[in-house]
Amino acid sequence: MNLTSTDYLNILPLLLVGAGILISLTVEMYSKKSVGFLSWFSFLLHLLVAYYSLYTVNNVSSVFGGMMGTGGTVNIFYFIFNFGAAIVALLSMDYIKKAEIYFGEYYILLQSAVLGMMLMASATDLVMVFIGLELMSICFYVLAGFQRKNVRSNEASLKYFLLGSFTTGFIVYGMALIYGASGSLNIQSIFSMLSAESTPILFYVGTLLFIIGFCFKIAAFPFHMWVPDVYQGAPTSVTAMMSTIGKAAAFSALLLIMLPLIGSKNPQTFTPLFTVLSAASMIFGSIVALAQTDIKRMLAYSSIAHAGYMLIGLAAANDTGASGIVFYLAAYAFMNLGAFGIVSLIEGNGDTEGTIESYAGLSDRNPLLAGLLALFMFTLSGLPPFAGFFGKYYVFIASLEAGNVWIAVLGALSSAISAYFYLRIIVVMYFRKSDVASDNIITESHTSLLGIVISAILVIMMGLTPGSIVRLINSF
Amino acid sequence: MVTLEHYLILSGFMFVTGVVGVLTRRNAIVVFMSIELMLNSANLTFVAYSSFLGNVIGQLFVFFVMAVAAAEAAVGLAILIAIYRNKATLNIDEINILKW
């Protein structure tokens, strides 16, 4: 079990983030005025780790005696988490001053949450899945309630905490049943069970509980109750993080149990379950989002609908579906980070709600932000040629390959419904005069703008060269 | 003779009690206690299987669950204190500025 120098190079992303957390803690302990330093430190750290993960993407190996894997899809997930976190660090720099949460702990929790996500994505053993999930979730509970004088933030944190740990109960009990049925916690040996002559019913019950638990985390209907409240109440930069890379992390754990199934005897074991969940999430998310007046709640319901589209890829249970989900997650992460970045600039500091009406006349007041928000709305609604379109395209193709035609048709229909509420924002921004221009001061922030522009460039680039990215994901 | 089934029935009962508690109780602290019950029922299942299968991995997992549950309790009680300072209530029906 000795680690060789190659192993150290392969787990370097984890070591770097871990070391970063310790450095940040030490710096914060000795100097209370270090918040500015910590923000740039986390930005550069996550950028470095993102670059390194992509650079060593071919080093596929197994470390820690089969507890973790590195390379391949794992490193692509590392890239999504760390690049997303770097953008979140940029978006937070001025936002946390406005939200009166200018504390160094913010960045320490951000880095710890990313470490948890990375552990979850690289896990090949249920113990690692559990530890990674909890490291991420506990950091998110604290971050959601970071404005501790603000009742909304408290409430979001409480709801997230209670429902999140309720979910953990399901996941751990599911793991216990899986362990009982298979006698192992290693995912490969667990799923070799499925090829055996008879699989105990206990195994299916355990896996079902596990999937239900993670459906809470990815915000799929009917396990979505916490999503709109938490997204609305939490500080916007935190919402940006948990709705994008947090969701990607939970999906990485679901993919983990689906990937061994793809090569097995009956890959479509869980297809009916995922199909129903995906259909319900898409339709529910799209229809309820129509009725929202608050932009953060609207984006929360759109997040439920997007979880539905991604579940189509899981239901398909083939390689196209798996790479489609990874592509979709990256695309969704960057477009949603950009959209929430703009929301964080426009929302007032106080208890004012970020109503959609407050975006009226944005094209006159700030044409650049209006143009960027229009871009993100187009790509969220899935219009070509941006990244969102290709994300949907790949999961729909996967489901057609698996012979599951009606769910792809339903997905297309639901995209058409969702176009209404995304485009409504563009209509409000460009064609409605602002009544209350004076009380909507847009925060000036160069760093946030930089983060938003980087997201926009990535969304456009992923739309221009989707094929090469999917080929990269598929080559593992 | 206490067999594996006895342990599983007990842990299943504990788990269901926890779920029902979360869904029906209104005090946030009682809800949190019910969640702890769910985690402990999973621990009991792990230990029972571990002993039955003669395999220590299950008992190792229980240590991780206990450590994480402790961390969760620390964070959870801190959140409850923060909300009690602002609202002076822990009834989750009254904590409803954001629509459920």
Residues of chain A found within 8 Å of residue B55, distances taken between Cβ atoms: 183-184
Task: Read off the pLDDT band of B50 (50, 70, 90).
Answer: very high
Q: Determine the 3-state secondary structure of B100 from DSSP.
A: coil
Contact B68 A149 (CB under 8 A): no
**DSSP β-ladder status, A68-70 and A61-63:** antiparallel
In a domain, A441, yes or no: yes
Contact B83 A155 (CB under 8 A): yes
| Placement of tokens 């798996």 in the chain | A322
Residues of chain A found within 8 Å of residue B41, distances taken between Cβ atoms: 173
In a domain, A39, yes or no: no
Distance between A79 CA and the closest CA of chain B, angstroms: 27
In a domain, A428, yes or no: yes
Nearest to A141 among B52, B75, B100 (CB): B75
Distance between A406 CA and the closest CA of chain B, angstroms: 32
Residue type, A255: L
Residues of chain B found within 8 Å of residue A176, distances taken between Cβ atoms: 11, 42-43, 45-46, 49, 58
In a domain, A436, yes or no: yes
Contact B35 A165 (CB under 8 A): yes
- Residue A349 DSSP symbol: S
CB-based contacts of A239, cutoff 8 Å, min separation 6: A230, A231, A232, A296, A340
Contact B99 A229 (CB under 8 A): yes
Contact A233 B98 (CB under 8 A): yes
Minimum CA–CA partner of B88 in chain A = A151
Supply the pLDDT for residue A272.
86
Distance between A371 CA and the closest CA of chain B, angstroms: 30
Contact B98 A229 (CB under 8 A): yes
Q: Give the CA distances from residue B30 to residues A7, A148, A183, A450, B21, in Å, rounded to whole numbers and listed in that order.
A: 46, 22, 34, 46, 8
Contact B79 A165 (CB under 8 A): no
How many angstroms separate the CA atoms of A160 and A136, rounded? 13
Average pLDDT, chain B: 88
In a domain, A229, yes or no: no
B26 alpha-carbon distance from chain centroid: 16
Minimum CA–CA partner of B74 in chain A = A138
Contact A162 B80 (CB under 8 A): no
Supply the pLDDT for residue A41.
92
pTM, full prediction: 0.92
Contact B87 A127 (CB under 8 A): no
How many angstroms separate the CA atoms of A334 and A93, rounded? 18
Supply the pLDDT for residue A131.
93
Residues of chain A found within 8 Å of residue B79, distances taken between Cβ atoms: 141-142, 145, 154, 157-158, 161
Q: Which residues of chain A have pLDDT under 50?
A: 351, 438
Minimum CA–CA partner of B36 in chain A = A169
Nearest to B58 among A131, A155, A179 (CB): A179
Supply the pLDDT for residue A195.
65
How many angstroms separate the CA atoms of A250 and A218, rounded? 6
The tens digit of pLDDT for each residue in A163-198 reads 999 999 999 999 999 998 888 888 888 877 666 667
Contact B75, B68 (CB under 8 A): no
Task: Read off the pLDDT band of B99 (50, 70, 90).
Answer: low
Instruction: For residue A306, give both structure tokens.
Output: 């997007």
Residues of chain B found within 8 Å of residue A132, distances taken between Cβ atoms: none
Total domain count, chain A: 1
CB pairs under 8 A between A and B: 129
The tens digit of pLDDT for each residue in A382-400 reads 887 888 888 888 889 888 8
In a domain, A443, yes or no: yes
Q: Determine the 3-state secondary structure of A336 from DSSP.
A: helix
Residue among A134, A143, A157, A26 at smallest CA distance from A92: A143
In a domain, A317, yes or no: yes
Distance between B83 CA and the closest CA of chain A, angstroms: 6
Instruction: For residue A391, give both structure tokens.
Output: 């994300």
pLDDT at B98 over 70: no
In a domain, A181, yes or no: no
Contact B42 A176 (CB under 8 A): yes
Instruction: For residue A85, give both structure tokens.
Output: 């976190």
What are the structural domains, with CATH classification, of chain B? 4-94 (1.10.287.3510)
- Comparing B1 with A202, the larger pLDDT belongs to A202
List the single best residue of B52, B87, B94, B97 to mutate versus A (max A Cβ within 10 A). B97
Contact A138 B39 (CB under 8 A): no
List the single best residue of A142, A152, A158 to mutate versus B (max B Cβ within 10 A). A158
How many angstroms separate the CA atoms of A400 and A377, rounded? 27
Supply the pLDDT for residue A438.
46
> Can you give the length of chain A in residues?
476
Q: Which residues of A touch B (CB under 8 A)?
A: 126-127, 130-131, 134, 138, 141-142, 145, 148-149, 151-152, 154-159, 161-162, 165-166, 168-170, 172-173, 175-177, 179-180, 183-185, 225, 228-229, 232-233
Structural domain containing residue A338: 270-476
